[in-house]
């Protein structure tokens, strides 16, 4: 789901993304103001913070959090008879919540991007690794190797093509001793 949201956000221009976030924030504030005071709308203010933070990273998420606090505070306390210290305390708590949320979303985004980079590097490394596995049909007489298509190849040629190694020749001590006889 995150990937779908991310792809959708990447298609939007910077200005369109900001416009939609501000529009969503204002709509949430209006609905919150018109709703009964017992109805809690605080969580809905996290939506624009998520989109802005995911698209632009932490600093813009903090700005979105501040905007959400302002809209939420206006909606909550406009025309209210709540004591000023209660209102200030609630605004500070809301700002702390929104700031923490933006930080967590930014951290999640960064972790996901790092994971994607590491996965891409791992896939590239795995693509470069050539390994031989399974049964390898080899002629008992001439030591040539049969490939998947039934063609016979010199052992050195086959190993070089399938194991990304170069082969050099030498004589082991046992064969050297036999050659001297």
Judge contact between 68 and 45, C-beta under 8 A: yes
pLDDT score for 130: 61
Query: Whole-angstrom Cα distance, residue 19 to residue 17?
Result: 5
Q: Determine the pLDDT at residue 6.
A: 80
| Whether residue 14 has pLDDT greater than 70 | yes
Q: In degrees rounded to 5, what are phi and psi of residue 138?
A: -130, 140
pLDDT of residue 122: 93
- Residues 18, 14: Cα–Cα separation, whole Å: 6
**pLDDT digit string (tens) for 105-148?**
999 999 999 999 999 999 988 877 666 667 888 998 888 999 88
Residue 57 CB-half CA count within 13 A: 5
Determine the 3-state secondary structure of 29 from DSSP: helix
């Amino acid at each position: 789901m995150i990937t779908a949201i991310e792809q959708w956000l990447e298609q939007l221009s910077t200005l369109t993304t900001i416009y939609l976030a501000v529009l969503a924030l204002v709509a949430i504030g209006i609905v919150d103001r018109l709703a009964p005071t017992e109805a809690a709308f605080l969580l809905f203010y996290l939506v624009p913070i998520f989109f802005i933070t995911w698209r632009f990273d932490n600093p813009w998420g903090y700005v979105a959090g501040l905007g959400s606090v302002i809209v939420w505070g206006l909606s909550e306390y406009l025309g209210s008879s709540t004591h000023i210290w209660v209102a200030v305390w609630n605004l500070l708590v809301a700002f702390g919540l929104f700031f923490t949320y933006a930080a967590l979303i930014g951290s999640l985004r960064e972790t996901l991007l790092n994971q994607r980079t590491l996965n891409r590097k791992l896939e590239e490394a795995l693509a470069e690794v050539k390994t031989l596995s399974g049964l390898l049909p080899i002629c008992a007489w001439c030591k040539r190797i049969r490939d998947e298509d039934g063609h016979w190849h010199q052992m050195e040629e086959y190993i070089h093509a399938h194991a990304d190694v170069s082969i050099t020749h030498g004589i082991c001590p046992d064969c050297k001793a036999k050659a001297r006889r």
